[in-house]
Amino acid sequence: MTSENQPKAGHRDTPVSTAFREFMASGWAADDRSPTPRAEVADHAARRRAALSERFPGERIVVPAGGLKVRSNDTDFTFRPHTAFAHLSGLGSHAEPDSALVLEPAPEGGHHAVLYFRPPAPRDTEEFYTDSRYGEFWVGYRPTIADLESELGLTARHIDELAADLAKDEAAARLRVVRSADGKLAELVDTTRTQAGSPLSAEEQEEADEELARELSSMRLLKDAWEVGEMRKAVAATHQGFEAIIATLPEAVRKGRGERWVEGVFGLYARHEGNGIGYESICASGDHANTIHWTKNTGEVREGDLILVDAGIEIDSLFTADITRTLPVNGRFTDVQRRIYDAVHEAQQAGMEAVKPGNRFSDIHAAANKVIARHLFEWGLLPEGVTLEQTLDQENGGWHRRWMVHGTSHHLGMDVHDCQLMLREEYMDGELKPGMVLTVEPGLYFKADDLLAPEEFRGIGVRIEDDVLVTEDGYENLSAAMPRTSHEVEEWIARVSGAAGNR
């Protein structure tokens, strides 16, 4: 059930004799691997599945992992499972492509979890040494059915059994699938539902699948203690990556094409400390910081500039941090840079103080936005005659948004922008509750060609972003160990640079 198949490369066809096949199948040591011990996450994943079971009683739920995607010819992009699959199965970076988790309605009520995947072929088969996607000769150790059952505490089966199992009994007409995870598997579900005589129209079936996707998205809104612990690990790893960046800033200046150097240094730590980057890193020096999604990272890093780094490490459980620091390349802010930076820090602190149970998610942006607007008003950047109250009018104002165009917060977890499929009234107007993890990230951006900005501001972009846990009585800044104020950032750079120089 691969998501994307490539034509076979004709130039690689090699005649294979019976003698050669027999030779390749012989002489291998017995596979005496012990089943994988039960994972710590297994009980947490089981609780998540139980909650989903209560939401959709009697329905067969299909959550695909997704398949490999071709990068070029016969090479694939690194596989990352669909987030809903990882969340419900407990499998993170070591999930197998083309797997599917099925919640099977149980006669006694509730659901049984069944994980379908392609286990390794025996070594006396051609698949072992000819299949470059699944053969262990090519891709190394792959889990057995016993491994996954032991590790996750659920039933595992060969993926070839999936189609027949989906079509069995009356539950075949009551199927839901995460459509976006695997298009071919979604087609199989559609066909199965139709053949089973589902009373729903095609449009109603798609609506039912969308309802499932929203539910799976909202399930990640409140983190349990284990998930918060994973977030702490992701933040700690990201902290190390930022300190590595600081230590190498002189090299980034010296070598040229320094944004790529900074990106590469962080990527090294991301791969060493976790599964990799949680999203494409933004390493934006000088005026590039004013391009909100600058991921090209092709520019120079120059003395006297600020470099805005927005980056996060995704750990093996697939939880990711999302942190931004704006750093003076030479270790010291100029007076103008500090003026802008301090305004953004004040706005961020106001946003953080709005993080408390009972407040709305949108209150975070409102609090930070008010500070941003006030500074721009006091600096005389708003059009003549426009008052602070007028620009803050959501319906008819917004002049200050020329220099702060994005939102101040988003939920964070296994996706960098987590829970995104929730309805607006549940997300933007939702009430903050203990266990939520979100970002607070205001900014100010003065493009080099912005003639409405003071000349000394042009080319300066600042964003400060931290990862915040909603607690019973307020918030905890999970990334508080990473300095935020302008003076603390200067001290941080001096300390890290000094330590690097003494190595």
Indicate if 192 and 303 belong to the same structural domain. no
Report the half-sphere exposure of 19 (CA within 13 A, side-chain side): 0
Please report which confidence band the pLDDT of residue 2 belongs to, taking 50, 70 and 90 as the band edges. Answer: very low
SS3 content of the chain, % helix, strand, coil (to 5): 45, 15, 40
Mapped onto helix, strand or coil, the DSSP state of residue 4 is coil
Taking CA atoms, 122 is separated from 24, 28, 147, 342, in Å, by 12, 11, 15, 63
105: helix, strand or coil: strand
Per residue in 270-307, pLDDT (tens digit) is: 999 999 999 999 999 999 999 999 999 999 999 999 99
Show which of 197, 218, 239 is a domain's final residue.
218
Q: What is the DSSP letter of 397?
A: -
186: in domain? yes
Is residue 4 in a domain? no
From 208, 443, 428, select the one nearest 310 (Cα to Cα): 443
Asked if residue 5 is part of any domain, the answer here is: no
Domain-located, residue 145: yes
Residue 8 clears pLDDT 70, i.e. is over it: no
Report residue 179 as tokens.
């459509």
The pLDDT tens digits for 25-69 are 899 998 887 888 999 999 999 999 999 999 999 999 999 999 999
Chain centroid offset of residue 66 CA: 16
Is residue 234 within 8 A of residue 101, CB to CB? The reply is no
Which two structure tokens, joined as six digits, stand for 311? 């980056």
Shared domain for 210 and 323, answered yes or no, is no
* Residue 214 and residue 232 share a domain: no
Structural tokens at position 291: 């391009």
Amino acid, res. 284: A
Work out the pLDDT band at 21, boundaries 50, 70, 90.
Answer: confident
368 Cα distance to chain centroid = 24
Q: Cα separation of 137 and 147, whole Å? A: 19
Same domain, yes or no: 290 and 344: yes
Q: What is the pLDDT of residue 14?
A: 64
User: In this structure, are 37 and 135 located in the same domain?
Assistant: yes
Give the chain's radius of gyration (CA, Å).
26
**Encoded tokens for 107:** 């006669």
Grade residue 503 by pLDDT with cuts at 50, 70 and 90.
low
* The pLDDT of residue 234 is above 70: yes
Shared domain for 192 and 234, answered yes or no, is: no
pLDDT per position as a tens digit, 382-428: 999 999 999 999 999 999 999 999 999 999 999 999 999 998 889 99
* pLDDT tens by residue, 88-133: 999 999 999 999 999 999 999 999 999 999 999 998 888 998 888 8
Asked whether the beta carbons of 278 and 413 are under 8 A apart, the reply is: no
- Domain annotation covers residue 2: no
Structure tokens at 361: 């998610």
Query: Are 68 and 151 part of one and the same domain?
Result: yes
CATH code at position 349: 3.90.230.10
Cα–Cα distance, 310 to 329 (Å, whole number): 15
The structure tokens listed for 494 are: 């001096």
Contact 297, 469 (CB under 8 A): no
- Mean pLDDT score, 345-350: 98
> What's the token pair of residue 6?
């490539």
Last residue of a domain, one of 161, 184, 218: 218
164: domain CATH number is 3.40.350.10
Going by C-beta distance under 8 Å and a sequence separation of 6 or more, which residues neighbour residue 359?
A: 431, 432
Q: 167 and 251: one domain?
A: no
Task: Provide the 3-class DSSP secondary structure of residue 150.
Answer: helix
319 shares a domain with 187: no
Residue 3 lies in a domain: no
Residue 75: DSSP 8-state: E
- Residue 482: CA atoms inside 13 Å, Cβ hemisphere, count? 28
Last residue of a domain, one of 218, 249, 284: 218
Domain of residue 75, residue span: 10-218
pTM: 0.94
State the average pLDDT for the chain: 94
Judge contact between 160 and 153, C-beta under 8 A: no
At a CB cut-off of 8 Å and minimum separation 6, what does 191 contact? none
The domain total for the chain is 2
Bridge pairing between strands 460-463 and 466-470: unpaired
Instruction: Give the 3-state secondary structure of residue 172.
Output: helix
Q: Which residues of 309-346 are buried (b: 16+ CB within 10 A; e: fewer)?
A: bbbbbbbebbbbbbbbbbbbbebebeeebbbbbbbbbb
DSSP string for 410-452 = -B-SSSSSTTTTS-HHHHTTPBP-TT-EEEE--EEEE-TT-TT
Same-domain pairing of 194 and 272:
no
185-216 pLDDT, tens digit per residue, is: 999 999 999 999 999 999 999 999 999 999 99
- Tell whether 206 and 240 lie within a shared domain: no
DSSP 143: -
* CA separation for the pair 47, 51 (Å, rounded): 6
Three-state secondary structure call for residue 342: helix
Q: How far is CA 484 from CA 164, 348, 407, 462, 466, in A?
A: 56, 10, 19, 12, 9
Residues 208 and 230 in one domain: no
Q: What are phi and psi of 343, to 5 degrees?
A: -65, -40
Q: According to the model, what pLDDT value does residue 3 have? A: 45
